[in-house]
Amino acid sequence: MTAAHPDRPAPCLHRFVDFPPSGPVTVTVAQPGPGVSTPGWRHRLLPVSPRGTILVGRDLSQLATMAALGMDDAVAAGAPGHPDALAGIIAGPGETHTAVWAAAVDNRCMRQLAETRKDLVEVGARDVFAAGDPAAGRAAARAVSLVRNKTLSGFDPATGQPVQWDGSGGRGTTAAGGECFARINPCVIGLVKKPGEDKILLGRNAVRSGYFSALAGYCEPGETLEQAFMREVFEESGVTITGIRYVSSQPWPDSGSLMVAFTAVADPSSTPRPVDGELAEVGWFSARQISSGRVPLPRPGSVARRMIDAFAAGELIIGDN
């Protein structure tokens, strides 16, 4: 079981911004722990396994039902007494709010919790995204991302000194006063339309070869997001693009990424083909082909799948028509 760490920083006050339907709110909450009083607050925990999965309630449709594990029950099963990061806030009713925390737990603790609480299920952040609730998805992404960051970023890359992460999990300091922030890796992804036809460019990865998806890749130093998307499409498929337009973004905590999605139109003279070895196959797919179900696609929950489904349904317009 994972024990509480005696060298954890003392509970501190920090702020978290949530965006409920009524609009943005900023609250201040103390990190819970043995002997710490937090009047007006209840505390729940999202345990994060070494695999990056989280233990949640079976109803993922809203944060209140997803974050079903009370802090006391979690600690009794071996979860840390002081959590690693603040994942979300559930407002009200009245003056009592609920703070949803995240903590790294080992596989033994995860199994014990799952065996003790049959109302809980182990899922990935992607499964929560697929359920569609923004607050639940954001909490799941924060939980996995910040626990992952804390696990991988125990030392300041500039000085090598140990980093002490604050209660929010997003900001760390060193004994010498150095400051660190949770790392986010920007990644571009998007759909490219064949000019004059109702078709989009999809590729089948050489490693994860079981489905077709949107082309994607990480930004390089000195690039804008648009330049990165243009480069990635050309490197992977040989297709040059114009008319790049932003669509949306999505955190992808398994790799610490922020997926930034675009659409574009291919140059009429471009012929798609695997170029750099990353794709096993690349080609044009019509909305009718995609809607038929004969084209294997990524599981629901990703921005790629959301864009592909929207294109097939006629809800995502690429280019001028």
Total domains, the chain: 2
pLDDT value of position 75: 87
Q: Which of 289, 213, 297, 304 is nearest to 257 (CA)?
A: 304
- Over the stretch 191-216, which tens digit does the pLDDT of each residue have? 999 999 999 999 999 988 899 999 99
pLDDT value of position 11: 43
Q: Print the domain residue range for 121.
A: 13-155
Sheet strands (E) in 52-128:
54-57, 85-90, 97-104, 120-123
Output 213 or 16, whichever has higher pLDDT.
213
Q: 160 in a domain, yes or no?
A: no
Burial group, residue 292, by CB count within 10 angstroms (0-12, 13-18, 19+): exposed
- Over the stretch 104-157, which tens digit does the pLDDT of each residue have? 999 999 998 988 889 999 999 999 999 988 889 989 999 999 999 999 999 998
Mean pLDDT (the chain) is 87
The tokens for 100 are 């949803």
> With 80 as the cut, is the pLDDT of residue 35 above it?
no
- Over the stretch 161-170, which tens digit does the pLDDT of each residue have? 999 998 888 8
Q: Residue 91: which pLDDT band, with cuts at 50, 70 and 90?
A: confident
Q: 268 in a domain, yes or no?
A: yes
142 and 228 assigned to the same domain: no
- Model confidence, pTM: 0.86
47 and 102 assigned to the same domain: yes
123 and 221 assigned to the same domain: no
Termini Cα distance of the chain: 57
